[in-house]
Amino acid sequence: MFTQSVRQSRGRSAKITLMDPNELIAHSPELLKGGAAVAGALKLTDLAKAMLGPATAEFAERFRDQVRLYRFGRQLECLKKAERMAQDAGFTPKAVPIKILFPLLEGASLEENEDLHTMWAALLANAASPARNDLVRPGFIAILRQMAPDEGSLLSVIADLTDGHSSLLRSFKATSKPVLDRAIAAHNHIQMERLRATVRQEREEEGATESRLQTCVQLLANAGLVEIGDDIITLSSLGRTFLESCRPPKPVT
């Protein structure tokens, strides 16, 4: 653990406490340069510039400051979450390779959804775990960065349903194949209804829900995370590894 002084937009300093696995975030402020690039994309019309007058430059700089502070704040929150996960799992974090660390913090800084942000933190915690860091692949960062909140929720439900389907096949004792087929068909129908309920929005028409479900499933399949069968959607081997990497590390035994 260490304490670092951070200079805020009006020259004030604030002290923050961070996790320090071999100076894990020694170079993280460099990631904030991306905020200036976003701010540089802000184009003011001639009319707006005329209204702002001499204050145009100050207005643009304030916008850049807000972007930097927002992204840095999300990075710090990600680190705090990862630190708590490491403490709960009972391990001492090790340094995360730069190839994973920088893109990971970059992705976390842009994530507004809290559930997905927690997945970023879990990815960081696992990458810093001496026992589980081999689970985290650089490609997982790209997958998580492109994931929408409803896709993340759907992937978790598909994982649960896949386990339930496997359990049914192992435990169900059918007197004949037709009986088994009917049981599987009924089980698959219940699964699909649960998936629809996961993505359904309040007061939404059935057609819109079905369309979004199909879109989410197809995107997850394109990423290799799920497999689409005739009447069932299951988690792939890659999907299971990805999801395990994006969940808090299990306690060390």
Contact (Cβ atoms closer than 8 angstroms) between residue 92 and residue 56 = no
| Residue among 171, 154, 140, 170 at smallest CA distance from 235 | 154
> Which residues, in sequence order, are bridge partners of residue 226?
235
pLDDT at 174: 58
Dihedral sign (CA 235, 239, 245, 246): negative
Residue 57: CA count within 13 A, CB half-sphere? 1
Using a cut of 0.75, tell me whether the model's pTM lies above it: no
| Residue among 207, 95, 221 at smallest CA distance from 155 | 221
Could you write out the DSSP letters of every residue in 46-66? HHHHHHHGGGHHHHHHHHHHH
pLDDT at 21: 40
pLDDT at 187: 67
H runs (alpha helix) in the chain? 33-40, 46-52, 56-89, 98-109, 114-127, 138-145, 149-171, 177-199, 206-222, 237-245
Q: Which residues of the chain have pLDDT under 70?
A: 1-60, 62-63, 164-177, 179-181, 183-185, 187-188
Q: Is 3 helix (H, G, I), strand (E, B) or coil?
A: strand
Q: What is the CA radius of gyration of the chain?
A: 23
Contact (Cβ atoms closer than 8 angstroms) between residue 129 and residue 89 = yes
Cα 152 from Cα 115, distance rounded (Å): 8
Kindly report, residue by residue over 6-60, the tens digit of the pLDDT: 444 444 444 444 444 444 344 344 433 444 444 444 566 666 666 666 666 666 6
pLDDT at 19: 43
Contact (Cβ atoms closer than 8 angstroms) between residue 101 and residue 24 = yes
pLDDT at 12: 46
Could you write out the DSSP letters of every residue in 94-145? -PPPHHHHHHHHHHHHT---HHHHHHHHHHHHHHT-TTTGGG--HHHHHHHH
Taking CA 99 as the corner, what is the angle to CA 93 and CA 104, rounded to the nearest 5 degrees? 70
